[in-house]
Copies of this chain bind each other. A is one copy, B any other.
């Protein structure tokens, strides 16, 4: 099986997730700027999730550029990742509509954590299939970002009950870490093409 249709399907799911989140921005009843005030925290959490999904789309794209064949294991590891990403609209809305209350903020982090783990599993399944000496294995290398992120989420979840602002700041910080597209795979791809 080629990766084309798996990529197209994942793109479709990601495009829908990123867009239906906006349906949680409930149209306010009032007609002045003050009516937008309760929308603001929802908008902010929407921005954060939008960036996260953009990062996942970007990394997913890189990952499958370095993958040639899809096995059953890769297919289900990919669906597993999409499952956790599909919960983003729910946790985003819950956190946003309650002014970043502790529990919703912790649950938001939990879904971030599970998505990060799902991505690591997907990467591992692909590398295992290709072999430890494969192109992707070397390109990913030590993968400090992929290993640091779950640790930071794990720290943020209990911290949400101390201050949900610290937890949110940690989520934003991890997003910033990833915002810069991963140069490892890109560099390796370039090398291979030369």
Binds B, one of A11-19, A112-120, A132-140: A11-19
**Inter-chain contact A97/B27, CB cutoff 8 Å:** yes
Interface size on A, residues (CB 8 A): 56
Known: A15-B9, A15-B12. A27 touches B27 (CB 8 A): no
Binary interface profile of A, 29-43, with partner B (CB < 8 Å = 1, else 0)? Answer: 001110110000000
**Inter-chain contact B7/A5, CB cutoff 8 Å:** yes
Residues of A146-166 whose CB lies within 8 A of B? none
Whether A94 sits at the interface, judged by CB under 8 Å, is yes
Whether A173 sits at the interface, judged by CB under 8 Å, is no
Residues of B close to A1: CB separation below 8 A: 61, 65, 186
**Inter-chain contact B36/A54, CB cutoff 8 Å:** no
- Distance of A9 Cα from B58 Cα, bound (Å): 11
Whether A28 sits at the interface, judged by CB under 8 Å, is yes
Whether A167 sits at the interface, judged by CB under 8 Å, is no
Residue of B nearest to A87 (CB): B22
Interface residues of A (CB under 8 A from B): 1, 5, 7-9, 11-20, 22-25, 27-28, 31-33, 35-36, 47, 50, 54, 57-58, 61, 65, 72, 75-76, 79, 82-83, 86-87, 89-90, 93-94, 97-98, 101-104, 107, 179-181, 186
